[in-house]
Each structure stands twice: as structure tokens, then as C-alpha cells.
Amino acid sequence: MSNGPYGKITCDCGALSLLVCGSPLAIGRDVGGKPVAFWPLEAILIGQGADELDVSPEGRGGETWACRRCEDRLLYADDEAGVAVLAGHPEDISDPEPALTSSVQRRLESLSYRVVSEQ
Ligand SMILES: [Zn+2]
């Protein structure tokens, strides 16, 4: 995944890009301690390469969005929580206000994500 400013994420081969709108609900860490950001699922739009988008169910109950060509995984989408989990912390966004409901936070924590309120 590219490290560009939030707004657009592109897979390794460039065939698939997603547009990220609005602001994150919260930031956190994944099970391996890597930074992640939680976005509303409806904030994610397909920029280009809709034909290359491979949405596959994950054991945890949500779906992984990946590129069919390079198999780069762009995000994890959890329908139950209505949240998309993207790798990395947004840089250009000042202090995302935690906007997760406690039920969504519990759902994310049950998936082994840690939600943090400060970077
Ligand atoms: Zn690709």
C-alpha cells in the first residue's frame, strides 16, 4: 500500500484504487501492534478497477478487499460493525474524535483490534 495522504489508497500494481472520504472513526492497533485506522464503511468508494476488486469472506466474519491481480489487501470490512479497517494512521487529520459506539468498539476488540483514542 502506498503511504500517500489519505484520500486514496492504491494496490501494489496500481489496478485498483479506493477513495476514502470524510474522517476516521478512531485509530488503533491490529493484533500484531501495527497502526490501523477505523473508517465508516460508507466512506470507502471504488476509485478505479472495480473489476479487479476481490471481496472475500474472512473467518472473523467480515470481508477482505484485495486486488485480483497483485493480491494486495487494501482493507478489512466488517459489515456487522459497519467499519473498514485500513493499515496505517492518517497523517493529515487532526485528532480524530473517537466516534465509535461502545458496541462497535466491542466488536472490533473481539476481532483483536485495539482502539486507542490518541496517536
Ligand atoms: Zn493490484
Q: Which residue bears the cell 459497519?
A: 82
97 CA → ligand 1 middle, Å:
32
Domain that holds residue 50: 8-90+97-112
36 CA → ligand 1 middle, Å:
20
pLDDT (mean) for 26-44: 93
Q: Phi and psi for 110 in degrees, rounded to 5?
A: -70, -20
Neighbours of ion ligand 1 (CB under 5 A): 11, 13, 15, 67, 69-70
- Number of structural domains in the chain: 1
Task: Count CB-CB contacts under 10 A for residue 119.
Answer: 12
- 38 belongs to a structural domain: yes
Q: Where does residue 49 fall: left (phi above 0), alpha (psi -120 to 50 degrees), or beta otherwise?
A: left
- Mapped onto helix, strand or coil, the DSSP state of residue 67 is strand
Residue 2 has pLDDT above 50, yes or no: no
- 3 belongs to a structural domain: no
Residue-wise pLDDT tens digits, 79-111 = 989 999 998 887 766 555 667 889 999 999 999
17 CA → ligand 1 middle, Å:
9
Q: What's the pLDDT at 1? A: 43
Supply the CATH number for residue 15's domain.
Answer: 2.170.150.70
Q: What's the pLDDT at 112? A: 92
